[in-house]
Amino acid sequence: MNNPIGVFDSGIGGLTVVRELLRVLPDERIVYFGDTARVPYGSKSTDVIQKFADQIVKFLLSKEVKLIVVACNTVSATALDWLSSRYSLPIIGVIEAGAKRGVKATRNNKIGVIRTRATIGIKAYTTAIHQLRPGIEDHSKSCPLLVPIIEEGGDVELTHLALTRYLLNFKQKDIDTLILGCTHYPLIKDEIQQFMGEDVKLIDSANVVAHEVLNILNNTGIGTSQNINNPKHLFYFSDIPRGFKQLSKRFIGYPISYTKVILG
Ligand code: DGL
């Protein structure tokens, strides 16, 4: 099936997932939507997040996507089941993938998850982790200022200050695995690794999600039959703020062309 794969996020963080999808599935076409006009979702309530996610899914369906990747931890935690019950195409979130990789990685059965505020009250990660291995101790910490710091360019000093504020006590929990529960965090992976120490394994779910999509395409026979060099991907954003070109390049690794689309 030569239809594209839809990917969306509250903003540009989901481009880190696109980067992995393009590596694992080089022949597939991607249609991306980033809700840059309404980011961050991490501070919003569940019903608002569901409403926004529903508008985005409708938009992606208008582009005839065959599968949707919710490249946003906040939407995956708050709206994935709700979306899956409303639409018949496969909709894949990032939480189960991160949990799976985390459970595989831990040696002492203590996993940490850092995430946005909206996902903290929702036990999506805990449930996913305990379904895979019930005895695991999991610890969560919301780090609300990390997203704006990263969007502002990821200043090293500011990042370190925020990590100290959020993770200093967290470091005492003796976790050996830390799930990056937000699409933005891979961009400051080195700083987080340095802060937590080399013994803590960091989990970035983007790569796991890309392999999960590959499996679904293979198992359901909806992978593309085309073998195109550089398929044309489409990137839509609900706002193009100042400095966007540079910022999007940091997330995906190369300059992209994009179109502004206002939803709702
Ligand atoms: N994309 C969001 C996530 O992964 C982070 C940004 C936001 O708060 O909207 O949770």
pTM for this entry? 0.90
Give yes or no for residue 177 having a pLDDT over 80: yes
Measured CA to CA, the distance from residue 228 to residue 173 in angstroms comes to 48
The pLDDT of residue 221 is 92
DSSP 173: G
Dig out the tokens for 236 from the structure. Answer: 């839509």
Dig out the tokens for 61 from the structure. Answer: 């369906």
Percent of the chain scored above 70 by pLDDT? 99
Most informative mutation of 36, 115, 116 for ligand 1 (most atoms within 8 A of CB):
116
Q: Whose CA is nearest to atom 8 of ligand 1?
A: 42
Q: Whose CA is nearest to atom 1 of ligand 1?
A: 72
DSSP 43: T
- pLDDT per residue over 95-120, tens digit each? 999 999 999 999 999 999 998 887 76
- pLDDT per residue over 79-100, tens digit each? 999 999 999 999 999 999 999 9
Dig out the tokens for 259 from the structure. Answer: 């179109």
Distance 176 CA to ligand 1 centre (A): 24
- pLDDT per residue over 234-259, tens digit each? 999 999 988 888 888 988 988 999 99
Domains of the chain listed by start with CATH number: 5-93+207-260 (3.40.50.1860), 95-205 (3.40.50.1860)
Q: Whose CA is nearest to atom 5 of ligand 1?
A: 182
162: left (phi over 0), alpha (psi -120 to 50) or beta: alpha
